[in-house]
Amino acid sequence: MTTTKTAPGIADTLAAEWTKLRSVRSTWIVVTAAAVAGVGFSVLFSFLTAADYRSLPAGQKAGFDAAGTSMVGMNLGLILMSVLGALAVAGEYSTGMMRLTLAVTPHRGRVLLAKAAVVGVLSFLLGTLFAAVAFGVGQLVLGVNPDVPTLGLGGPGVLRSVLGWGVETAAFALLALSFGVLMRSAAGAIATAIGFIFAPAILGALLPVWVRRDILAYFPASAAEQLSTAQLKTDAVTYLGPLTGGGVLLTWVAVALVVAFSLMGKRDSG
């Protein structure tokens, strides 16, 4: 009598990937660090801003971005959540666990889809939560100084910004996950992801206006800002608008995952 061995279904693969992600200590270290950095630095910056608000130039007071001020630390949390995305897959390659994963579930596309779904959903939820907490506490801290204008969740662009941070966090974690598949090295994937995401924005000020407008505006960080920035400046060189920015960001993630899927299917599991 022979038995037929069937591969786990997508629901089983999702459950397995979630179990693996939450059972690794590094996951909770990274998440805790992202919460402390994203929320903690935002609250600290809000406190310092409230204390020094009277000394700000009149121009800065006129264009004061209360929402952006209270969520400024989210960029640090974003970097750390990108680390989580890279570790979710590169860690399995470095330990050899990927061989077992693909032996149990030989459908590599299903494995990658499950990993992307688990990392993406978790990153979106945490990014949104951290942004909401940073905004809420930050507005309370800013409000200690009656001269500082504050906003509620229904303020202009605030809800879009909070949700946008969740989308941006998920997108960058998935980009880092894709680099993890491509490089099979956590250190290499993290360095490449952070450089690819943030270097263009940092170096942009040194480049001609046409490069920033026609090229850098379509890189992930600039595109993501269209979602997470509450007070968008339509006259900015890199302005795309939330709809276009979201579409560009989604395209980057989709392309990265397709390339990762292609290489994952051609390589051995080691």
Three-state DSSP string of 118-136: HHHHHHHHHHHHHHHHHHH
Question: Number of structural domains, the chain?
Answer: 1
- Is the pLDDT confidence value at 269 over 60? no
Q: What is the mean pLDDT of residues 114-128?
A: 96
- Is the pLDDT confidence value at 205 over 80? no
- Using alpha carbons, select from 117, 119, 115 the residue that is nearest to residue 105: 115
Q: What are the tokens at 235?
A: 């006259």
Q: Domain of residue 173: give its range.
A: 10-266
pLDDT of residue 134: 97
Mean pLDDT value across the chain? 88
Task: Report yes or no on 77 lying in a domain.
Answer: yes
How much is the pTM? 0.90
pLDDT of residue 267: 60
pLDDT of residue 61: 86
Q: End-to-end alpha-carbon separation of the chain, Å?
A: 34
Q: What is the mean pLDDT of residues 222-235?
A: 91
Task: Report yes or no on 1 lying in a domain.
Answer: no
Task: Report yes or no on 32 lying in a domain.
Answer: yes
Task: Report yes or no on 154 lying in a domain.
Answer: yes
Higher pLDDT, 206 or 31: 31
Task: Report yes or no on 2 lying in a domain.
Answer: no
- Using alpha carbons, select from 102, 93, 94, 79 the residue that is nearest to residue 190: 79
- Using alpha carbons, select from 216, 206, 203, 202 the residue that is nearest to residue 245: 216
pLDDT of residue 259: 93
Task: Report yes or no on 4 lying in a domain.
Answer: no
- Is the pLDDT confidence value at 207 over 90? no
pLDDT in tens, 241-258: 999 999 999 999 999 999
Task: Report yes or no on 3 lying in a domain.
Answer: no
Above pLDDT 90, what percent of the chain?
56
Task: Report yes or no on 188 lying in a domain.
Answer: yes
Residues 69 and 60: their CA atoms lie apart, in Å, by 12
Q: What is the mean pLDDT of residues 181-192?
A: 87
pLDDT of residue 199: 83
φ, ψ at 244 (rounded to 5°) = -65, -45
Residues 84 and 174: their CA atoms lie apart, in Å, by 9
227, 229, 234, 237: CA torsion to nearest 10: -90
How far out from the chain centre does Cα 259 lie?
A: 19
Cα 157–Cα 237–Cα 216 angle in degrees, nearest 5: 100
pLDDT in tens, 40-98: 999 999 999 999 998 888 888 888 999 999 999 999 999 999 999 999 888 787 777 77
pLDDT in tens, 98-110: 777 777 776 777 8
Q: How confident is the model at residue 2 (pLDDT cuts 50, 70, 90)?
A: very low
Residues 118 and 19: their CA atoms lie apart, in Å, by 10
Secondary structure (3-state) at 65? coil
Helix boundaries (H) for the chain? 10-23, 25-35, 41-52, 58-62, 66-70, 74-95, 97-104, 108-142, 158-183, 186-203, 209-214, 220-228, 242-266
pLDDT in tens, 140-177: 999 999 999 999 999 999 999 999 999 999 999 999 99
pLDDT of residue 208: 87
